[in-house]
A and B are shown apart, each in its own frame.
Chain A
Amino acid sequence: MSELTAIAPLLVVLGGAMLVLVSDMITPGRRYAPVALALAALGGASALLLQQGGANASALGGAFVAGPFVAYLGLLGASILSITLLVAPDHLALRRYPSAEFAATILVALSGAILVAAAADLVTLFIGLELMVIPGYLLAGFAKRDSLSTEGAVKYFLLGSFSSAILLFGIVLLWGSAKTASLDGIAAAFASGASTPALAIALAMITTGVAFKIAAVPFHYWTPDAYQGSPTPITGYLSVGPKVGAFVLATKLYLVALLPLAATWMPVIALLAAATMTLGNLVALTQSNLKRMLAYSSIAHTGYLMVGLVAAGAGERAGISGILFYAAAYAFMNLGAFAVLTAIQGAAGATTQLSDLSGLGRRHPGLALLASVFLLSLIGIPPTAGFFAKTYVILAAVQAGGWVALLAIVAVLNAAVAAFYYLRVIVYLFMREPASPGPEVATPPLLRAGLLLAAVGTVALGLAPTPWIEAVVRAIAP
């Protein structure tokens, strides 16, 4: 594989973003043309990623390593973007938000995510991260005439840049201690597992920065505001895209560069994981706004994903493959849930209160059924993606044994707590009388396609997980 083929998917995505912007300059204000262009770019990039599949190939002087890992995450990213691009345009158009800027922005974010996945050194990793999260700040403030959106965006931006700075500090200290920026080189430099004061500070700063990015307790405060303020389909993207990307960053840092120091960081991550799951779920119990509820539920899911990180730190490869599988399952079910929320906001200015869903099962049985599939998957009821994903991560924790197995028990007890607030939504869907006037439901064809895609993913990963298991196992094969 030549250098050019290695970075080709990245170039196609970036090129797509440019093309979307240029086309919008020529014929401004089109609703579907930018989306079609962006989807074409994603299709092209996916085809290239599928072709790469097999062996690793490095480019850009060894800073960029393409291979099955990048292919898996790139394809997952393309799926996330496709669903978002299908769900968003009609919702945005109704509120007079431009769809071209939107499409271009998330394409740039995807290029950042690909860079994170392919990064072989600290600098590329950090650049990829920023390229991924800066579009996120823009998107959070997309509803620029809405004060709630602006507040959320400012909070997100301030805390995000602050955490990036802390992370960068940690990265620099790590670089200095190891005297190399290469991730494999750092692992080799600390192979003895011995820690120094500088390294301890580096670890603390990296952990803080990463915890911000994945929205782990106690660095999660920005999430509910950022999520609530953004237009619903954008919230869906924000709850999935940057989170999955940040977990890729975490696996690169903790499970490649810092793996020899696992004994030092594992207890901290484990503690954060337990706190994140528990607090996320407990606060979600008290929410009556669905977006805030899903924001806290996404914090809880961060906690479950961190269990995989800890198990992988204990030496279980299933921990990493569990994270990758969970990321895909989480993407489909969460995007699906937000797509349902988008559908019930058929009128500009519509809210997303729990009571808006009252009796939806009577008026829109199909939509309510899909909503239930996503909710049951978020709980982890078989045979859905969410069930198998949880099982995968818990299996890794059980395999790791010792105190890590206790984390598995914390995780399942949390799943039972979480069941309460997800089930409450189903209560509103099916067991309450319809509110009058109910919300205006709009399911334009594109939104339907997005919903269907999310639903197929949610069910397929649960019923026939084998191809995905093979894909994640191949993705992390040494």
Chain B
Amino acid sequence: MSGLPVLSLLIFLPLAGALAVSLLPSSRPGVIRAAALGVSLATFALSLLMLPGLAGLGSTGAEFAYVEQASWIPAFGITYHLGVDGLSGSLVVLTTLLSWICILASFGPIQARVKEYFVSFLILETGMLGVFLALDLFLFYIFWEVVLVPMYLIIGIWGGADRIYATIKFVLYTLVGSLLMLVAILATAFAHQAATGSWEGAFDLLALRGSVGDPTLQVLAFGAFALAFAIKVPMFPFHTWLPDAHVQAPTAGSVILAGVLLKLGGYGFIRFAVPLFPYGAQAFAPIMVALSVVAIIYGALVAIVQTDLKKLIAYSSVSHMGFVTLGIFSFNQQGVDGAILQMLNHGLITSGLFLLVGIGYERTHDREIAKMGGWAARTPVYAALFGFFLFASVGLPGLSGFAGEFLVLLGAFLASPMVAGAAAIVMVLGAVYLLWMYQRVFTGPLSPFLDGLGTHLTDVTPTEILTLAPLAAMIVTFGVLPSILTSSFAQSVGTFLLYAASGVQP
């Protein structure tokens, strides 16, 4: 495999698949579905084949594997530069996994304009993989923006009643942040050109890390990057697009949004913002920590009072993603390990919850908590699966959600015990809103609304179990053995901490 451009294949396989699917006749939705699933499964397989190549990274001294670099726009030193390490590798596998799960989970719910849907989804996959694999800032930015368009269409065409408002809000929020990031990228590149006298490497992450000297530029550029990433994560107070987007998006859209798109922000902090501008990051750290704690508590409190299942989980995302940023800006091994674990776990667990809400919606066409009750009596398997993912989300030890939050809290405690104390309260709040929701929806006597559905209220189908089973298996595996993951990205975390520490002194 060493001679092949593995990463390019990985990125562009879904795009090629999208092209192929777009040529299929619209009158054959079955063929289109099968083709899209086939392409996404092939991409998943390719991403798994890539993993063994990452094993030797630490020992050989190389930071990235499967590196590809080709000149693209030589006038400004912009290159097509790709590479993968433990951090991006695990996120890539998360992306390819969730992509085929989403495509499979869309077979039933998506009945209109099937071809356009799967084409959009495959283009989206290309964009997401590109973001995780790009090592050139310009290339990274392009993939970052490319992600927007298919997501805009997925929410806007196949979403709920208020889909257009939600999707435009989503795009505009993201665009404001990313455009300022573009200015920061250009300023950084130009500063490099002015300092070295050449455009060589001016957009290259590896050349730029540690070379941005000007403290003012560091602070301003970090601010711009942080805004773009904070909107994507989303951090309080930039989160208001998220509940709208989640509620209006079709199930698979919500899954990919929570599972991967939010991670783009966290990944951006770890890979780009902090290593490029460590001084700026240290200057902003107190604000970032404060906003993270606010997000953790605020997200949980707002989740408690939600009456819509999807909205409840959307706000729980705000809370859970707060742990990610809290961990990153603790700037210590435990915190960052925890942040990355939390990203992966949130990707697995919340995706599962959104899938389950979608499965329920298919049967009831409603998500109003007040109308539910006693669901477990009718569909025991569904209730059990929901319970499993719910407990994982609460952070039950033994399931993967626990390890991430625990490590983040440990990291935060080492950095500032008070912050950790505040965040720890939320472990309790999380249990409150999730368990209370579960109690209202699944236990007690069967509600008249659910009873009225009669035989429509069926239990999960084998296909639906197939979408949930891989997630559940990974949640258990990583819950028992989180070290599989932490050891895989140990080197990435080490590099991150090295650069973060260099920012203490400008």
Contact = CB atoms under 8 A, between A and B. Distances in A.
Interface of A: 361-362, 376, 381-383, 387, 391, 394-395, 398-399, 405, 408-409, 412-413, 415-416, 419-420, 423-424, 426-427, 430-431, 465-466, 469-470, 473
Interface string B64-87: 000000001111100000000000
B172 A398 contact: no
Nearest to B187: A398
A31 B194 CA distance: 56
Contacts of A381: 145-146, 148-149
Contact of A423 (B142, B168, B176, B180): B168
Nearest to B158: A431
A323 to B, nearest CB: 16
B168 A420 contact: yes
A419 B156 CA distance: 15
A453 B355 CA distance: 44
B179 interface: yes
A202 to B, nearest CB: 34
Most A-side CB within 10 Å, residue of B116, B149, B186, B189: B186
B146 A465 contact: no
A398 B168 CA distance: 29
Interface in B321-342: none
The list of the 3 closest CB pairs from A to B, nearest first, reads A412-B179, A382-B142, A469-B75
Contacts of A423: 152, 168, 171
B175 interface: yes
Contacts of B176: 413, 416
Given A395-B186, A420-B168, A466-B75, A412 B152 contact: no
Interface string B159-200: 000011000100110011001101100110110000000000
B101 interface: no
Given A382-B145, A430-B156, A394 B175 contact: no
B157 interface: yes
A331 to B, nearest CB: 21
A382 B179 CA distance: 12
Given A399-B190, A413-B179, A466 B74 contact: yes
Given A383-B146, A405-B183, A412-B180, 8 more contacts: A387-B142, A395-B190, A412-B179, A415-B175, A431-B156, A466-B74, A466-B75, A470-B75
Contacts of B180: 409, 412-413
B7 to A, nearest CB: 18
Contact of A398 (B141, B152, B153, B186): B186
Interface string B99-130: 00000000000000100100000000000000
A416 B173 CA distance: 9
A412 B183 contact: yes
18 contacts: A362-B113, A381-B145, A381-B146, A382-B141, A387-B145, A398-B183, A398-B186, A399-B190, A405-B183, A409-B180, A412-B183, A413-B176, A413-B179, A413-B180, A415-B175, A420-B172, A430-B156, A469-B73
A414 to B, nearest CB: 9
Chain A binding surface, main DSSP class:
helix
Contacts of B186: 391, 394-395, 398, 408
A176 B179 CA distance: 46
A185 B13 CA distance: 59
Given A413-B176, A420-B172, A427 B164 contact: yes
Nearest to A399: B190
A388 B179 CA distance: 13
A455 to B, nearest CB: 16
A420 B170 CA distance: 11
B172 A416 contact: yes
Contacts of A413: 176, 179-180
A375 to B, nearest CB: 10
A207 to B, nearest CB: 27
B157 A431 contact: yes
Contacts of B141: 382
B168 A391 contact: no
B223 to A, nearest CB: 12
A466 B182 CA distance: 19
Nearest to B75: A469
Contacts of B142: 382-383, 387
Nearest to B141: A382
B295 to A, nearest CB: 23
Contacts of B153: 430
Nearest to A428: B164
Contacts of A394: 182-183, 186
Contacts of B116: 361, 430
A423 B171 CA distance: 9
A347 B373 CA distance: 58
Contacts of B171: 419, 423
Contact of B75 (A387, A405, A415, A473): A473
A89 to B, nearest CB: 31
Interface in B303-322: none
A398 B190 contact: yes
A34 B183 CA distance: 47
A394 B168 CA distance: 25
A337 to B, nearest CB: 17
Contact of B175 (A391, A416, A466): A416
Nearest to A383: B142
A50 to B, nearest CB: 21
A312 to B, nearest CB: 15
Contacts of A419: 171-172, 175
Interface string B254-269: 0000000000000000
Contacts of A412: 179-180, 182-183
A88 B148 CA distance: 34
Nearest to A376: B149
Contacts of A387: 142, 145
Nearest to A419: B175
Contacts of A395: 76, 186, 189-190
A427 B182 contact: no
A243 to B, nearest CB: 24
Contacts of B168: 420, 423-424, 427
Contacts of A398: 183, 186-187, 190
Contacts of B146: 381-383
Contacts of A362: 113
B264 to A, nearest CB: 15
Nearest to B224: A409
Nearest to A417: B172
Interface string B45-78: 0000000000000000000000000001111100
A383 B175 CA distance: 15
A465 B179 contact: no
A381 B179 CA distance: 10
A415 B157 contact: no
Contacts of A466: 72-75
